[in-house]
Amino acid sequence: MSSSNPSSAPRADGRQPDQLRSVTFQNGIAPNAHGSTLTAWGDTRVICAVTVEESVPRWMKEQGVVGGWITAEYSMLPYSTLSRKARDSSRGKVDGRSTEIQRLIGRSLRAAINLEKLGPRTLWVDCDVLQADGGTRTAAITGAWVALALAVKRLMNEGKLTESPLEPAVAAVSVGSVGGRPLLDLCYTEDVAAAVDMNLVMNAEGKFIEVQGTGEEATFSRDELSAMLDLGGRGIRTLLDLQQQAVK
């Protein structure tokens, strides 16, 4: 096939359209956390750590809600981006994008755990971007699941849990339409060029937890949406396998 054909042109980093970047997990990166991993997706790197607090938020006590809670925080370290990103603490306000992403991470992980079985404790999920090259939210969710599974394992080893509260695993991936073709797991240059940008969060039963799909000054058809969902779904299955290998 001719390389001038847009559908066969190689991607900036030589990947196939349906190919993930190299995805790795380096566990135990933050020993004081109950579970932690440094996930690398090509040049995107995110530290994900889960810390257990043996209490629940006040609203749960006041409303008599049984079980536990998971909450997430996301930030980009100042040196993670091409030009330095000031810390929220120096700016005096939380970045709106970070707020949106940390709520997405929290929702995604709450789908991965039975909060009643977790018992009256809070899991703090901290995701800090060490290096950003597109797909930091999807790397954060996928890595956070690994940190969550490691934290649950530790709670079980310590005898604090007798039954695993884990539900089917959750992973996330980006998919987009670039130059008229669907591409899996966009890096930054592809993200900038994308006419459609999607983030999918799915579980090991093939069910959706969140679908974010946006036309960037562009529109997309139902067929294009289906193609992107199929591509993303295949990527998620690979990621779910990598997660299981990482927590073995």
Interface positions with ligand UDP (CB under 6 A): 81-82, 85, 97, 132-137, 174, 188, 191
Min CB(210)–ligand UDP separation in Å = 12
Min CB(32)–ligand UDP separation in Å = 26
Beta bridge partners, 51, equal: 124
Min CB(52)–ligand UDP separation in Å = 26
C-beta closer to ligand UDP: residue 28 or 79: 79
C-beta closer to ligand UDP: residue 37 or 75: 75
C-beta closer to ligand UDP: residue 27 or 199: 199
C-beta closer to ligand UDP: residue 118 or 144: 144
C-beta closer to ligand UDP: residue 108 or 174: 174
Min CB(97)–ligand UDP separation in Å = 6
Min CB(113)–ligand UDP separation in Å = 22
C-beta closer to ligand UDP: residue 132 or 146: 132
Three-state SS letters, the chain: CCCCCCCCCCCCCCCCCCCCCCEEEEECCCCCCCEEEEEEECCEEEEEEEEEECCCCHHHHHCCCCCCEEEEEEEECHHHCCCCCCCHHHHCCCCHHHHHHHHHHHHHHHCCECHHHHCCCEEEEEEEEEECCCCHHHHHHHHHHHHHHHHHHHHHHCCCCCCCCECCCEEEEEEEEECCEEEECCCHHHHHHCCEEEEEEEECCCCEEEEEEEECCCCCCHHHHHHHHHHHHHHHHHHHHHHHHHHC
Min CB(187)–ligand UDP separation in Å = 8
**Of 181, 223, 166, 138, whose CA–CA distance to 11 is shortest?**
181
The residue assigned the tokens 């579970």 is 35
